[in-house]
């Protein structure tokens, strides 16, 4: 069997997340159906992670196995004809047989977008916050994330993960234009709902409702109930997944 990595993007607005769900359509399900139609057999697809309902990806990676050699450019073109308009495949690469889209990823990067004014063309992809935010204080709090590894306080409760340990290497708010700020966070792995919980809690810091020391204490308490409300999903994007070069076969 030959293993392939699929690099794809999707608008998550109408999906119940990446993972196949019993009661709603998912990105993974659509991709498997398209592959099955093209290759004329059932194809299992494994993603680099799970994005929540309504969350987007400008770059997601998944892998699948197939018994015959495929021409990557041809497969990408055929899949794009079969996939709905809000999912697109832009690259397929051959990888070594043991390569794994989830377990071999060394870094993942997310971006979260916040706006301070009404703008009709990005309403589906931004979180509009009416109150004024202190982004200097939010960045001071965000820097403390790099000092810790246990992020139980920002994890969805009752998940099936064995550990809540993550290594965050970058967490920063930057201004994109007059009304838009973006939070970029990079780590070796993320917990369910982690980025949205962090953003929601940092916004409490920016509103003056939570101090930087208070944010630090929330991390140390390892209690999801102590953190802020999760930010809305529609403003969150998975933007990159990085792998070691030695897993690729081409």
136-156 residue pLDDT tens: 999 999 999 999 999 999 998
Half-sphere exposure of 221 (CA within 13 A, CB side): 13
- C-alpha torsion sign, points 166, 185, 53, 61: negative
Of 36-50, 102-116, 157-171, 194-208, minimum mean pLDDT range: 157-171
The per-residue pLDDT for 158 is 64
CA separation for the pair 110, 206 (Å, rounded):
20
Q: What pLDDT is recorded for position 92? A: 96
Mean pLDDT across the chain = 95
* Domain 1-101 class in CATH: alpha beta
The reply to whether 15 sits in an annotated binding site is: no
The strand pairing partners of 115, in sequence order, are 128, 180
Sequence-separated (6 or more) residues with CB below 8 Å from residue 218: 153, 201, 210, 226, 227
Adjacent-strand bridge partners of 46: 63
From 11, 52, 104, 240, the catalytic residue: 52
Q: Do domains 1-101 and 106-237 have the same CATH topology?
A: yes
Q: How far is CA 142 from the centre of its chain?
A: 18
Would residue 134 show up in a list of annotated catalytic residues for this protein?
A: no
**Rg, Å, the chain Cα set:** 19
Mean pLDDT for 90-108 is 96
Beta bridge partners of 207: none
Q: Per-residue confidence at 123, pLDDT binned at 50, 70, 90?
A: confident
Reported as a single tens digit per residue, the pLDDT across 62-93 is: 999 999 999 999 999 999 999 999 999 999 99
- Provide the β-strand partners of residue 93: 5
Cβ(64)–Cβ(35) under 8 Å?
Answer: yes
pLDDT digit string, tens, across residues 25-34? 999 999 999 9
**Burial letters 35-44, b for 16+ CB under 10 A, else e:** beebbeeebe
Residues 6+ apart with CB under 8 A from 2: 65, 66, 67, 68, 69, 70, 94, 97
Whose CA is closest to 89, among 74, 67, 102? Answer: 74
Q: Does domain 106-237 have CATH number 3.30.70.660?
A: yes
Location of structure tokens 């990408």: 76
Domain ranges of the chain: 1-101, 106-237
Q: What is the pLDDT of residue 159?
A: 67
Q: Provide the token pair at 227.
A: 């953190």
Those residues with Cβ within 8 angstroms of residue 31's Cβ, 6 or more apart along the chain or in another chain: 6, 8, 45, 62, 79, 83, 87
């Amino acid at each position: 069997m030959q293993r392939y990595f699929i690099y794809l993007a999707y608008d998550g607005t109408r999906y119940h997340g990446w993972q196949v769900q019993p009661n709603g359509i998912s990105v993974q399900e659509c991709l498997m159906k398209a592959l099955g139609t093209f290759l004329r057999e059932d194809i299992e697809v494994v993603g680099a992670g799970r994005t929540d309902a309504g969350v987007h990806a400008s770059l997601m990676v998944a892998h699948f196995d197939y018994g015959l050699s495929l021409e990557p450019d041809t497969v990408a073109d055929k899949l794009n004809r079969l996939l709905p308009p809000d999912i697109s495949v832009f690259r397929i690469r051959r990888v070594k047989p043991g390569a794994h889209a989830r377990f071999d990823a060394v870094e993942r990067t997310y971006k979260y977008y916040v706006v301070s004014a009404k703008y009709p063309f990005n309403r589906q992809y931004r979180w509009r916050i009416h109150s004024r935010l202190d982004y200097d204080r939010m960045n001071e709090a965000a820097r403390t994330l790099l000092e810790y590894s246990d992020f139980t306080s920002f994890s969805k409760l009752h998940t099936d993960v064995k550990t809540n340990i993550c290594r965050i290497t970058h967490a920063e708010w930057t201004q994109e234009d007059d009304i838009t700020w973006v939070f970029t966070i990079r780590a070796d792995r993320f917990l369910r709902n982690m980025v949205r919980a962090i953003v929601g809690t940092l916004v409490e810091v920016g509103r003056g409702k939570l101090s930087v020391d208070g944010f630090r204490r929330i991390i140390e308490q390892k209690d999801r109930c102590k953190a802020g409300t999760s930010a809305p999903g529609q403003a969150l994007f998975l933007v990159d997944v990085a792998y070691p070069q030695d897993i690729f076969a081409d």
